[in-house]
Amino acid sequence: MHEMALSESMILIIEQEAVRQRFDRVKTVCLEIGVLSHAEPEAMGFCFEAVSRGTVAEGARLEIQRPPGEAWCMDCAGTIEIARRFDPCPRCGGHQLQVTGGEELRVKELEVV
């Protein structure tokens, strides 16, 4: 389960920011997990709760946003939304797609005290 390692890295980033920005506790973590990112939101929530124990993020609420997958279709020259990699273009049926969004996995913002 790579979500555990991802959550550990997220806590490391949060702890570093706590030192740098001098805050004591995190109330909310807003996390973007793009639909094409290969990370499961439910698993991230479970792992975040487990690895945040004893840190400045213990008890913090995890808000997860799910940006859609986006691609540029080289056949019809348009930006389209895709649900999965290798799906055809919903406009022209072409398969020459360059993914341009939906791969994000980032801490977007923190609410701290």
Owning domain of residue 59: 2-68+102-112
pLDDT over 70 at 107, yes or no: yes
Classify strands 61-65 and 26-33 as parallel, antiparallel or unpaired: parallel
- Say if 108 falls within a structural domain: yes
* CATH number for 22: 3.30.2320.50
Quick check: 18 pLDDT over 70? yes
Residues 39-94 have pLDDT tens digits of 999 999 999 999 999 999 999 999 999 999 999 999 999 999 999 998 999 999 99
**Is the residue at 73 inside a domain?**
no
Tokens linked to 15: 């702890």
Report if residue 57 sits inside a domain.
yes
Give the count of domains, the chain.
Answer: 1
Would 95 be classed as within a structural domain? no
The Cα 41–Cα 55 span in angstroms is 21
Report if residue 88 sits inside a domain. no
Say what the pTM is: 0.86
**Beta carbons of 107 and 17 less than 8 angstroms apart:** no
Predicted local confidence at residue 20, as pLDDT: 96
Q: What's the mean pLDDT in 13-41? A: 96
Is position 76 within any domain? no
**Which DSSP letter does residue 82 get?**
E
